[in-house]
Structure 1
Amino acid sequence: MVGFNNIIGHEEIIRHLKNAIETEKVSHSYILTGDPGSGKKLLAGTYATALQCEEGGTEPCGKCESCKKAIGKNHPDIIMVSHEKPNTISIDEIRDQVVNDVSIKPYFSHYKIYIIADAELMTPQAQNALLKTIEEPPEYAVIMLLTSNADGLLPTIRSRCVRLDLKVVDDGLVKKYLMEHLQIPDYQADIDTSYAHGSIGKAKEAATSQEFADMTQNALKILKYADTMEVYELTDAIKNLTSEKQNISDYLDIFLFWFRDVLMFKATREIDNLVFKQEINYIKEQASKRSYENLEKILDALDKTKVRLRANVNTELALELLFLTIREK
């Protein structure tokens, strides 16, 4: 069932949107900004559905003709702006789908709503074309710009929109969602939640992705035995990681959680707050072998590796330097 009640977190934004419906103070233009997977599309879609709902409440009823069309993604008055090229939204696309279309009145709803995902991809010309519509919109128009980089929008656009910043969702809520809605076991939910950094979308992706499960197992194999691996085994491991270049950042996150766990257990001897609780025997062993200084060095080396990779340093070399630090006694 679609509805604000089913959205995890973002209470302030939901309050604002419901209040806008209730008081009939719906803005003509919004910017929803937040990290990928933070729930921008879900919030925008739910708001659009609620605005068009024939019941006229602050929650979509889910049963009327308008709600059914919105849920089925074929509502003629809720327009998802699309673009051909993956990294740009052109002036022609904005003209065709928004600027020239907005003068046509809604087909059977109170509003005509345009949702532009990845709005930062609009070229400056496309944004300028949209600006006139944002400045002088017909009374029924609502334009929602979804972005993970609000600074990619022109100041003139930003100053004319109501801006709603999506904050990260509390880890406890993310874990609860994974366990209750996706039936993810406790220990796996811990890993997925840590990886997600407060993003429900990212947590769902991790929880339902075989690739992420394989990656976690592969990372754990390296982490558990990095100290005792033969040099050739380590070289092979580095080569395998290098070949999975697109996943390196995720691997480094998993390594980071592991060594934080080791440090945390060394300092507190408590299991409750560990990400990898089910690997407690290995964590215990490493905590007893490694010094605080060594663990701090490894965590520092992980941060440096991320910086190096962002600066396009050779991946294999960056990983070799990291593993030298990990193997230091």
Structure 2
Amino acid sequence: MGSFKDVVGHKDIIKYIRNAVNEDQVSHAYILNGQRGSGKKLLASLFAMTLLCEKGGPDPCNECHSCRQADSGNHPDIIRVTHEKPNTISVDDIREQVNNTIMIKPYQGPYKIYIIDHADLMTVQAQNALLKTIEEPPAYAVILLLTENADILLPTINSRCVMLKLRNIRDTLIRKYLMEKMEVPDYKADMCTAFAQGNLGRAIMLANSEHFNEIREEAVQLLKYIHEMELSEILKAVTQITAYKLEITDYLDIIMIWYRDVLLYKATKDVDKVVFKDQMKSIREQAKKSSYEGIETILESLEKAKSRLKANVNFELVMELLFLTIKEN
């Protein structure tokens, strides 16, 4: 599992946790709020390990019996709440796994820690059931709610928990991690870092994804030749992209970064900040042909396309409209 020293970024949260443990000021409930892949699970696990570590340091020692149990996922005082339904944490899940067990004292440590991942999936009834426990918890209980969107939780839950917001990590730290820890070549590290937008988990996923390279190549080929394509060819391209429906956000992000590169190069002629360095010839040509207004229109259309796809508007229709906007600008 490691220690807080191994965590990339999130220094403020780590400092807060260490101080809370050192000064014996641990709250009974926390919300760790951040995007998928931002490091919520790792921070929650390290927090739990630190609270139960037999050496009582600001970091888990990774050597004592408690740390070894936590590392293997077998610590009796760390309860990870599960749910059978994929998109819902029900009131029964909370009652059975939290409310009905929380009054049983810790088996061996000073704390009993509940980790509820995807807490934003709790139904209103489940949240209300948890609220009663959060309002009057036993002194040894610590509840960690992991969410991607804390605003979905009831205001009464939000107000009774300490909020720990996971911010975006600096690009330089992500790039360094990819190159030093994962031995990713610099051009690929640049690309993955740009796409990750401050999210290390996403950067690691992209660096490990063969599929991502395929999607990138298809997008680049389309962007290089779209202005010469007939309508029938554009419709054919939309049909091919249907295969990537699950990764469509990545596909649209690739197009967005391409046009940001075009805009950046047009405005500054600075090659160093361009992400698609291996496509500089095409970026230069595009920058000459496109107007600032045209590029802005394309970037706005990409945001609209993302919103429409989230709202389940017809996939083919959304992509056709987007490609026609790109072709015209």
TM-score, with normalisation over the residues of structure 2?
0.95
What residue is the counterpart of 2:110 in the other structure? 110
Range with greater deviation from structure 2 (203-212 or 242-251): 242-251
SS in 2 for 1:73: coil
Give, as a single letter, the amino acid of the residue that structure 2 aligns with 1:328. Answer: E
**1:171-218 CA distances to partner (integer Å, 9 max, x unpaired)?**
121111111111111111122112112111111111111222221122
Give, as a single letter, the amino acid of the residue that structure 2 aligns with 1:58. Answer: P
User: How far apart are residue 301 of structure 1 and its match?
Assistant: 2.3
What residue is the counterpart of 1:256 in the other structure? 256
| Distance in 2 of aligned mates of 1:129 and 1:327 | 54
User: How far apart are residue 21 of structure 1 and its match?
Assistant: 0.5
Range with greater deviation from structure 2 (229-238 or 155-164): 229-238
| Distance in 1 of aligned mates of 2:11 and 2:70 | 23
Give, as a single letter, the amino acid of the residue that structure 2 aligns with 1:149. Answer: N
User: How far apart are residue 289 of structure 1 and its match?
Assistant: 2.6
User: How far apart are residue 305 of structure 1 and its match?
Assistant: 2.1
What residue is the counterpart of 1:82 in the other structure? 82
**1:167 is the counterpart of 2:167:** yes
SS in 2 for 1:227: helix
What residue is the counterpart of 2:8 in the other structure? 8
User: How far apart are residue 294 of structure 1 and its match?
Assistant: 2.5
What residue is the counterpart of 2:58 in the other structure? 58
What residue is the counterpart of 1:17 in the other structure? 17
- Consecutive unaligned residues of structure 2, counting only runs of 5 or more, are none
What residue is the counterpart of 1:134 in the other structure? 134
| Distance in 1 of aligned mates of 2:328 and 2:226 | 10
Range with greater deviation from structure 2 (188-197 or 238-247): 238-247
| Distance in 1 of aligned mates of 2:50 and 2:187 | 37
Among the aligned pairs, what percent are the same residue? 56
| Distance in 2 of aligned mates of 1:126 and 1:292 | 50
| Distance in 2 of aligned mates of 1:322 and 1:8 | 36
SS in 1 for 2:160: coil
**1:121-178 CA distances to partner (integer Å, 9 max, x unpaired)?**
1122222222222122112111111111112222222121111111111112111111
User: How far apart are residue 38 of structure 1 and its match?
Assistant: 1.2
What residue is the counterpart of 1:304 in the other structure? 304
* Large movers: runs of 4+ above 6 Å: none
Give, as a single letter, the amino acid of the residue that structure 1 aligns with 2:263. Answer: L
User: How far apart are residue 53 of structure 1 and its match?
Assistant: 0.8
User: How far apart are residue 239 of structure 1 and its match?
Assistant: 0.8
> Is the Cα contact below 8 Å between 2:224 and 2:282 reproduced in 1?
yes
Alignment of 1:280-295 (within 5 A): 280-295=280-295
What residue is the counterpart of 1:121 in the other structure? 121
User: How far apart are residue 311 of structure 1 and its match?
Assistant: 3.6
Give, as a single letter, the amino acid of the residue that structure 2 aligns with 1:261. Answer: D
User: How far apart are residue 44 of structure 1 and its match?
Assistant: 0.6
- Consecutive unaligned residues of structure 1, counting only runs of 5 or more, are none
SS in 2 for 1:31: strand
**1:320 is the counterpart of 2:311:** no
Give, as a single letter, the amino acid of the residue that structure 2 aligns with 1:85. Answer: K
User: How far apart are residue 111 of structure 1 and its match?
Assistant: 0.9
Q: How many aligned positions are there?
A: 329
| Distance in 2 of aligned mates of 1:136 and 1:93 | 19
| Distance in 2 of aligned mates of 1:123 and 1:314 | 29
Change (3 A) 1:273 1:84: same
**1:259-312 CA distances to partner (integer Å, 9 max, x unpaired)?**
110111122111111111121122122222323332222222222322332343
User: How far apart are residue 230 of structure 1 and its match?
Assistant: 4.6
